[in-house]
Each structure stands twice: as structure tokens, then as C-alpha cells.
Amino acid sequence: MIRLSATALVFGLMACPALAEEAASAEADEAEGGGGSIVVYGQADTASVTGLPLSVRETPQSVSVITREQMDDQAFTTISDVLAYTTGVSVKAVDRGRNTLSARGFEITNFQLDGLPFASGNIGFDENNTALYERVEVVRGATGLLSGAGEPSATINLVRKRATSRVPAGFASVEVGSWNRFAATVDLAVPLNRAGTVRARLVAQAYDQDSFVDLDHSKGTVVYGVIDADLGENTRLSVGASNQHDERSGVDWGQLPYWYSDGTRTNWRRSKTTAARWNQWDTTDQSAFATIEQRLGGDWSLRGDFSYHRQVENSKLLWLSGTPDRDTGLGMDVWPYWYLSKPEQWHVSAMIKGGFTLFGRRHELVLGGMYSRLNTGWTNRDPVSPVPDASDFNVWDGSYPEPEWGERFIMSDLGHTVQSAVYGVTRLHLTDALTLIAGGRLSSWKRVEKESLYTPEPYVIRHKGVFTPYAGVVFDITNALSAYASFTRIFNPQDNRDRTGRYLDPLEGTNYEGGLKAALMNGRLRASAAVFRVKQDNFAIPDEGFFVPGTTDLASRPGKGVVAKGYELEVVGAITPQWDISLGWTHFSAKDAEGEPVQTHHARKLLNLTTKYAFQGTLEGLSLGGALKWESRPPKLGVNPATDLEEPVGQPAYALVDLMARYAFNRNWALQLNVENVFDKTYFNNNAWFSGFVYGEPRNARLSLKYSF
């Protein structure tokens, strides 16, 4: 990591790059894609890597784009549904309320809203409803140029819907499905004046459903509104806000026991729960934004962004874990917990971009800066009445008495994190075939932790003048084939301290990547192949025999970290004007300095396929498709409670098959059926912690009727 003077950070209220191209261009891309479910090669621009409006082919990193129509085809209702079928991304359920995400052997913590970086809370952005978004962009590898602090895994950019239509347009739909699911959605776009220079869009959804897990019930609403206004020939303003509220009762917190106390394996039915009947897990996710763009003349433009995100999580839950006795079902530990958190984040940014001429060639330049503040922390209420032992878990039905709760108290910090940065990046056209993308980010990061139960000694961590470089080259071998290579970096502050009391330098992730990208079938289909090596240094390891001064905490020292390496293959687009396909394969290894696997609950080999065929002729109006997901067995080990020996416990390799059928009666009405896990495969969605596991969903179906205008 290179450290520079932080003088330039006075521009910290200026901004980070970022908005991927507006929804109008995405709609045009879909129209040309033959069925539109996949973004076709070279058409969709993404600014989530460098801030430059680059096509997928022009970007020297692995990029996957999942469009609105693909989400509709596969009936993806949450962002985690989308990511589960995205090349190189692994999604595992922590319990029935949260997920863990991983790519290339590292946890995914980097999210963007319209290209602006935001921190994900305890309930992550992956649980957001897809109704809000036009597309999802996933950039694999480090993206520190725009994200700053984070992991060298992947960045997920959620691109919200915009008001692009100058005539009334939209749809209304109703959906029924397994486990008493009912949902209704409205998406309406209208011009607010005769010229269509001021436009509005409203998206609303309500749902109610049970689950394949006993007691589990959820309901919720989503409302999103945006206004896009052309304030003149050269000025555009966009303002919007969203509110997603979810109420879940009888929901699991934790995992089912993997072993009995005698060391034999359990075999619970998939509907088995660890929840109490009074469990609740309610969340409200709110966001607001304002963006103004000003054309300055020529191809130069100035952009400013203000964005806000807030999540309220109120979860009254019973933690039930352990290894029960095979015969009596006794032996499970209980922990009632009433968690409340209200993390919120503000982001202000500005960016100027345009072209310049040098040595007879035209090049592009982006300059900007950003400032963000994240307030975190949570409170709790402990039981004040006696907490009885768990009853026989073999016949557990959630009938556990709710305790009397004490006063709420601060459980963790209620501190804040401030990050500011300036950055610059340029694309130089060195020859007709060779381009160089080079840039850097100068960041300042500060974390303030206040006194709490988890933090008895308040502290402040500062990192100033952290320089994050970016470099990439793209060489057009032919008009349809390109080769690329890139080097990117990211940093991730940590609170470990050495024997002198000094905080360790941030974890430093680097990503080396190279590959080929090709446009096939006259540009309808794009294919890519990438090899990568990712490393995370300054990993904290115990400094045996030394303690942090003034504490009983064992000191740490920086060491060599995790190394992940592997390759990815992806084919996306339209094989014919009627047949769309998205196919991805990933194979990697990830090990620490001692050669031991990390993120062991995530598979090392992943295959994802989604497809749709739209018939013509006598069958016109009928579309058939589906999805296939295959995963290898992850290298997960667990300690048998009877023998104290480690045993492989990862889910053996498995495949899931989904099917879909849609019939459009005319331009307005369409009926669609989606069936997930057609062969009703029983599998572990996750078995990461506490000698437990979470089942994946059994076979289920959804039927939707949609009216479009």
C-alpha cells in the first residue's frame, strides 16, 4: 500500500463516479437482444468499475449483467435470487433471515446503488426486492477505485428503474404460488407535462406468504417513486425514494443440528424449525437520492449526487443450538435476544468527465471525489425472567414461553465511519487496437467506536492518504475478439493491534486478471474467459506471548494472507433471435498462508445456466425456458461431538433445475408459470457455523398474470 499526503482530500465533498447508463439505453439494448432477456455483447455500458462508460468488452475485468427481463423470466424476487445464478457468485443462507455471499474465495461486502458505494447491514442488500431495479451488474475482483474499503471479491451494483417514458406505460400483475403465496405489483410510468420533459415512475408491490419451514410467515410492501426532469437542453435532474417493509413471524434464527450428541447424523424433515412461535424479524429499508447532470459543451459533463440509505431491524428471536440427545431430544441451548439497529448512511459525490486530444488521438478522463458517513451500532433487551431449558427437540413445535424483557441497553458501539476520497482515471487510445486504462484513488478513512458492552474501551482508527491504483489494458485482436489484463487493489481497515498498541495496517487485497472477450453471431452473443489471482495481505495472526499494552488482548502481527486463483467462463446473449442463454462456469481454490482452505462452506466449482426460447409461427406467444445450477462439494469440515475428530460435512455435489413457461395472449396479457427445484432435490443451502445446517427450498411453483400497456 502506498501512502501519500492527504492534502487533496479537501475535495472530499466531491464525488465518486458512477451511474451506470440510464434505463432508456438498457431498454434499447434489450429490444435488440432477441427476446431481451440478456444484455447483448458490447451494448450495455457500465460505470461501476472505473466511472468510465465502458461496454462489457471494453472493461478489463469480469463483468456480468442481469437484466430486468431475465429477472422476470426466472421469477427472481430478491437480489439473492439473482446472485445465485450469476457467474462466480456463491449465495448461502446463514439462517432464514440472512445470507453470506462470496466470490473468488472472499466475502462480498461491496454494494453500489446506481454506482455509489454503500455498506450492507445485518440484513444485506441481497434481500432487497427486485421490483425496484432495472438491472444488476456484478464486477468480480477488487474495485477499490470506486469502492474504497472492502473485500477483493466482487462489487454488486443495483441499478434502479428510471422514468424514461414520454408516454404512459407500465404493467400490473398478480401472482399466486406454493405455501400460500400471493403478490400484486404495479409499475407505472407517466409524463407530467405535454412535452414529456418531466416524467414520473411509480413501483409498488405487496405480498403475503408462508414457507416450507414450520411457523415461518412473511408479508411486506415495497414502494418506489422517481421523477426525471429535463431542466433544459443540457441539464437533467433525477430524484427518487423507496421504502421496503418486511414482517416475518415464526422465523428461524440459527441452523438445524447436524449431529446428535452421540456423534451420529441427524435427518430432520425439511419443515423442521428451531424458532419459537413468538419469533419476529421485521425490517424496513429506505433510500432517497438526487442526481443532477450538466453538459458543459463538447463531450464534457458534470454530475453531482446525494444519496441516503437507512435500515431499521427489529428482531425478537430465540437462538436454539447444540447437539440433542438422540432419544430424549434434550441438550439444546437457548438464548432469547431482542435486537434493534438503525444503521444509516449519507453519500455525497461529484464527477466531471469528458474527452481530450493528445498525440492526434481522442481519449477520455474522469475526475471526482466523494464523502460518506455511516452510523452503526445496535441495542438489545435481555430476559429478566428465568429462561427455562429447551424441551425435547425431537418434537419441538415452537411452544417455548416468551420471557419477560428488561430495559433496552447499548450492545455495540453506536459509532460511525467516515470515508472521503478523490480519484481520477483515464482511458488512453494508444493505437487503433490498444487502449490503456489507468487511475488512482486517494482515500481517508476514520472509524469512531464508542463505549458499549462489546467495546468497553472506546477507540478511533484513522487511515489517511491511502492510495489505491488501477491499471488495465485491452487489445482488439480482431473486430470480434479482444484480450485484456488488469491490476486492481482494495483495502479493508481492521481493529487488531500489535504488541506496541498500534493498529495494524488495513487488509490489502490485490487482483490480477487476464482473459479474452469475444463477440459472436454478429454481436448477439458474447463470450469471455478469465484467469485470476487474488491476494489479501496484512492478515492478522496471533503474536504469541505478547499482549496489547494495558489490556489482556493477545497482540497480532501482520502476515501473508489468503491467496485465491482460478478461472471463469461465460457465454451470454442470443444464440438465435428467439433463443437467449446465459451460461457461466467458475473453478478456483482459496487458501490461507498455512495452505488451509478458507470460506469452506462455499463451493469451488459453480455452473449456472438460464435460458429462454420464444416460439414463432403457430406457437407465437409461447416462451419456454428454465435454469440449471450445479455446485461441487465445498471443503467444509466439522468436529464430531463424540469423537472430537474433524469430518467432511459439506453438501455433496448437487444440481437444481427450474422451468418456466409464458404465453402472451396478445400485446397486453400474458400468463407465466415458474417451477423451482423441479426434481425436489433435498440439499443443504448452508452448513457454516455451530455444527448446524439450513435446508434449501423444496419444489415450488408460481403462476402470474400480467397486463402491460
What structural domains and CATH numbers belong to the chain?
2-708 (2.40.170.20)
Instruction: Report, as an integer, the average pLDDT of 212-220.
Output: 97
pLDDT at site 473:
97
pLDDT at site 11:
27
Could you count the other beta carbons within 10 Å of the beta carbon of residue 458? 12
pLDDT at site 45:
65
- Which cell numbers hold the place of 184? 400484486
Pair type for strands 692-695 and 256-257: antiparallel
The yes-or-no verdict on residue 456 having pLDDT over 80 is no
Higher pLDDT, 9 or 77: 77
Pair type for strands 154-160 and 110-113: parallel
pLDDT digits (tens, 9 = 90+) for 45-99: 666 678 888 899 999 999 999 999 999 999 999 999 999 999 999 999 988 888 9
pLDDT at site 35:
35
Q: What's phi and psi for 394, nearest 5 deg? A: -60, -30
pLDDT digits (tens, 9 = 90+) for 374-420: 999 889 999 998 899 999 999 999 999 999 999 998 887 678 999 99
Q: Which residues contact 193 (CB under 8 A, 6 or more apart)?
A: none
Instruction: Report, as an integer, the average pLDDT of 284-309.
Output: 96
What is the chain's length? 709
SS3 assignment, position 63? strand
pLDDT at site 507:
87
Question: Do 98 and 107 meet the contact criterion of CB atoms below 8 Å apart?
Answer: no
pLDDT at site 457:
75
- 167-175: list long-range contacts, CB under 8 Å, 24+ apart: 167/191, 167/196, 168/709, 169/709, 170/708, 170/709, 171/706, 171/707, 171/708, 171/709, 172/706, 172/707, 173/704, 173/705, 173/706, 173/707, 174/704, 174/705, 175/702, 175/703, 175/704, 175/705
pLDDT at site 9:
28
pLDDT digits (tens, 9 = 90+) for 145-204: 888 888 899 999 999 999 999 999 999 999 999 999 999 999 999 999 999 999 999 999
pLDDT at site 17:
33
Residues of the chain with pLDDT > 70: what percent? 92
Handedness of CA 681, 686, 687, 690 (dihedral sign): negative
The closest of 560, 488, 469 to 2, measured between CA atoms, is 469
pLDDT at site 547:
85
Q: What's phi and psi for 617, nearest 5 deg? A: 70, -135
The yes-or-no verdict on residue 569 having pLDDT over 50 is yes
- Which cell numbers hold the place of 135? 438491472
The yes-or-no verdict on residue 677 having pLDDT over 80 is yes
pLDDT at site 445:
93
- Which cell numbers hold the place of 72? 422476470
Distance of alpha carbon 607 from alpha carbon 654, whole angstroms: 11
Instruction: Report, as an integer, the average pLDDT of 99-115.
Output: 92
Beta strands in 359-499 (DSSP E): 361-375, 378-381, 409-412, 416-429, 434-449, 459-476, 481-492
Question: What is the pLDDT of the chain when averaged over all its residues?
Answer: 89
pLDDT at site 48:
66
DSSP, residue by residue, 121-143? -SS-GGGSBGGGEEEEEEEES--
Higher pLDDT, 269 or 688: 269
Question: Do 694 and 96 meet the contact criterion of CB atoms below 8 Å apart?
Answer: yes
- Which cell numbers hold the place of 245? 417493509
Question: Do 85 and 568 meet the contact criterion of CB atoms below 8 Å apart?
Answer: no
Instruction: Report, as an integer, the average pLDDT of 23-30.
Output: 35
Beta strands in 452-506 (DSSP E): 459-476, 481-492
Higher pLDDT, 601 or 662: 662
Instruction: Report, as an integer, the average pLDDT of 534-559.
Output: 82
Higher pLDDT, 529 or 548: 529
- Which cell numbers hold the place of 560? 501473508
pLDDT digits (tens, 9 = 90+) for 320-374: 989 999 999 999 999 999 999 999 999 999 999 999 999 999 999 999 999 999 9
pLDDT at site 40:
33
CA dihedral 103, 109, 113, 118 (to 10 degrees): -160
DSSP state of 304: E
Higher pLDDT, 11 or 627: 627
Q: Distance of alpha carbon 602 from its chain centroid, rounded?
A: 15
Q: Is 369 exposed, middle or buried (0-12, 13-18, 19+ CB in 10 A)?
A: buried
